[in-house]
């Protein structure tokens, strides 16, 4: 059964998109704008880290197979 919950990456990206929309409106007080900006920076870093980890996993998988064909994942890796 597929997990219906969003992954951490998807949640972070969704929250980041929401913050950007609010900031683009330009009607927030300065203090709230700075809070949103700071949160956005943290979310961006989380997303970048998740993407880097995914890229590393793909690279490892491609190196293991040598021919670029997918290999079954070991859940303990």
Note the Cα 53 to chain centre separation in Å. 10
Number of domains making up the chain: 1
Report, as an integer, the average pLDDT of 65-76. 64
Q: How far is CA 48 from CA 4, 30, 59, in A?
A: 23, 27, 16
Give the rounded percent of residues in the chain with a pLDDT score beyond 90: 62
d(CA 18, CA 45): 16
CATH number at residue 48: 1.10.287.1040
pLDDT band at 62 (very low <50, low <70, confident <90, very high): confident
Q: What pLDDT shows up at residue 1?
A: 35
Predicted TM-score (pTM) of this structure: 0.69
Report, as an integer, the average pLDDT of 16-36. 96
Q: What pLDDT shows up at residue 46?
A: 93
Instruction: Tell me whether residue 44 is in a domain.
Output: yes
Instruction: Tell me whether residue 70 is in a domain.
Output: no
């Amino acid at each position: 059964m597929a997990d219906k919950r969003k992954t951490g990456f998807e949640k972070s990206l969704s929250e980041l998109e929401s913050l950007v929309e609010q900031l683009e409106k330009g009607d927030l007080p300065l203090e709230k704008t700075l809070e949103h900006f700071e949160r956005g920076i943290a979310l961006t870093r989380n997303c970048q880290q998740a993407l880097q980890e995914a890229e590393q996993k793909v690279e490892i998988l491609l190196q293991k197979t040598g021919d670029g064909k997918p290999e079954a994942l070991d859940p303990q890796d």
